[in-house]
Amino acid sequence: MFKKTISSIAATAVIATMVLAGSAKADFKPLEKDPEVISFGIIATESTMNLKKQWVPLMKDMEKALGMPVKAFFAPDYAGVIEAMRFGKVQVAWFGNKSGIEAVDRSGGEVFVQTSKADGTQGYYAHVITNVKNTEINSLEDILKCDKSLTFGLGDPNSTSGFLVPSYYVFAKNNFDPKKCFKTLRNANHETNFMAVANNQIDASESNSEQIGRSKLKAPKAAAKVKVIWTSPLIPSDPMVYRKDMSKELKSKIKAFFLGYGRLGDTKHAIEVLHGISDGQGFFMESNNTQLYPIRQLALYKTKIKIQSSDVMDQAQKTVKVSEIDDQLSELAVLVKHQ
């Protein structure tokens, strides 16, 4: 029984290595030594000013706990934080699952904890939204008309809820090409898209439950102008990622800070800080790279549908590409089963 378990674990590890090696796209720059200052990356889900208010208080507490400087790193898009981690300019970062995959595959990253909600739940939802006064758009079917009459806002290409999830569930599964079918298709962060819908600047856009929840708290008048017309399946909570080539000692200290934050020490202060992040964040929970498997599957399914509906590739090319994707999906299925 014990030998069988060990063999199963070993086989799973081999498959995981094969899957990750197949998805890696670039080499990261190895760290020469542990950093003297921790650079903490924050993805651009909304304005830098708003993100600073949410995350800097946590960074100040992290600085005290580690006994070393912790500085915030912001970029205009998700790729900026991914690349900064790749070149060693960021050592710890908050990502979504899609950008977390990029950080793990391309930037030497490793998931070590994940976020949760203030009520203890884990996960969130992607949405499609429109203005409440738009009586012609009340369901998903109302935007899936390929007549170039509507304007739509998508999220950052590395966003899970803003790009990958709607690209698969809303567009790919309905054989709908947003670039060909919408009058205008624009990319922006969640906050910008939300406000554009509230102000009737675009007909509809992506959003997520976190942005809607935060808008209800911080911009209730704008939130009252928006209605949800589609909701996705549950998306895993966001991963926190650090560079895997830092020393075990430093990684252990960082992980201990996150898992203890709000649970140990001045819990009242820490919980207040957590509740001020996004739409109200709870404790950080134990996690690792396996939380990314379902999102890897989603990305592969999206690519498979795109290939199958392509009018550029011939059938032989499609067959080869689809077979390759099916192999990766089979490998991931084993990993998901054993996680």
Between CA 263 and CA 257 the distance in angstroms is: 10
pLDDT of residue 26: 59
pLDDT of residue 151: 98
Share of the chain above pLDDT 90, in %: 82
- Mean pLDDT over 260-273 rounds to 98
Express each pLDDT in 268-280 by its tens digit: 999 999 999 999 9
- Mean pLDDT over 117-121 rounds to 90
User: How many CB atoms lie under 10 A from the CB of residue 131?
Assistant: 19
Residue 164 has pLDDT above 90, yes or no: yes
pLDDT of residue 6: 36
- Mean pLDDT over 2-27 rounds to 45
Least confident window among 25-29, 89-93, 280-284: 25-29
What sign has the CA pseudo-torsion 149, 140, 239, 24? negative
Q: What's the order of all strands across the beta sheet hosting 151-154?
A: 184-187, 151-154, 204-208, 126-131, 226-231
Express each pLDDT in 172-188 by its tens digit: 999 899 999 999 999 99
Residue 243 CB partners (closer than 8 Å, separation 6+): 31, 85, 88, 91, 92, 107, 108, 109, 110
- Mean pLDDT over 121-129 rounds to 95
Indicate the pLDDT class of residue 335, thresholds 50, 70 and 90. Answer: confident
pLDDT of residue 12: 44
Yes or no: say if 47 and 219 are a contact pair by the CB < 8 Å rule: no
Name the 3-class secondary structure at 181.
helix
pLDDT of residue 3: 40
Residue 23 has pLDDT above 60, yes or no: no
**Exposure string (b/e) for 215-230, b if CB count within 10 Å is 16 or more?**
beeeeeebbebbeebb
Indicate the pLDDT class of residue 339, thresholds 50, 70 and 90. Answer: low
> Average per-residue pLDDT in the chain?
91
- Mean pLDDT over 21-37 rounds to 79
- Mean pLDDT over 289-318 rounds to 90
What six digits make up the tokens of 117? 């909600």
pLDDT of residue 7: 39
For residue 270, the Cα-to-chain-centroid distance in whole angstroms is 24
Domains and their CATH numbers in the chain:
2-121+237-295 (3.40.190.10), 127-231 (3.40.190.10)
Share of the chain above pLDDT 70, in %: 92
Closest CA to 43 of 244, 280, 206, 278: 278
Express each pLDDT in 128-152 by its tens digit: 999 999 999 999 999 999 999 999 9
Residue 250 has pLDDT above 70, yes or no: yes
